[in-house]
Amino acid sequence: MQITYNLKPALERRSEQFNPTTNVGFGNLRTDHMFLMDYRDGEWCDPRIVPYGPFEVAPGAIALHYGQSVFEGAKAFQHDDGEIYTFRIDKNAERLNRSADILCIPALPEQMQIDAINALIDVDRLWFPMQEGACLYIRPFIFATEDRLSVSPSEQYTFCVMLSPSGPYYSDGFDKAIRLLISERFHRAVSGGTGASKAAGNYAASLKAGKAAAEYGAAQVLYLDANNKQIEEVGAMNHFHVLKDGSIIIPKFTDTILKSITSQSILDLGELLGCEVRQETVMLDQFISDIESGKIIEAGGFGTAAVVSPVGSYIFEDNRVITVGDGNVGEHTKRIYKVLTDIQKGLLQGPEGWVQHVKRVHV
| 250 vs 258, beta carbon nearer ligand PLP | 258
- Tell the smallest beta-carbon distance from residue 73 to ligand PLP (Å): 5
List contacts with ligand PLP (CB under 6 A): 73, 198, 233, 235-238, 258, 260-262, 302-304
Phi, psi dihedral angles at 66 (to 5 degrees): -115, 5
Q: Using only C-alpha atoms, what is the Rg of the chain? A: 21
Q: How far is the CB of 238 from ligand PLP (least distance, A)?
A: 5
**Residue closer to ligand PLP (CB basis): 242 or 258:** 258
Taking the complex as a whole, the smallest distance from the CB of residue 70 to ligand PLP amounts, in Å, to 10
The answer to whether the CB of 306 falls within 8 A of the CB of 277 is: no
Judged by beta carbon, residue 44 or residue 223, the one nearer ligand PLP is 223
Inter-residue contact 237 to 303 (CB < 8 Å): yes
Least Å distance, CB 171 to ligand PLP, is 19
Q: Which is nearer to ligand PLP, 198 or 345 (CB)?
A: 198
Q: Which of 130, 122, 136 is nearest to 74 (CA)?
A: 136
* SS3 label, residue 82: coil
The residue (of 236 and 299) whose beta carbon lies closer to ligand PLP is 236
Which residue, 136 or 258, has its beta carbon nearer to ligand PLP?
Answer: 258
Alpha carbon distances (Å) from 227 to 3, 84, 187, 191: 49, 45, 10, 11
Q: Whole-number minimum distance, CB 150 to ligand PLP, in Å?
A: 29
Give the Cα separation of 11 and 88 in Å (integer): 28
Nearest distance, CB of residue 314 and ligand PLP, angstroms: 18
CA nearest to 131, candidates 237, 29, 265, 16: 29
CB neighbour burial string for 278-307, b if at least 16 within 10 angstroms, e if fewer: eeeebebeebbebbeeeebbbbbbbbbbbb
Whether the Cβ atoms of residue 305 and residue 168 lie closer than 8 Å to each other? no
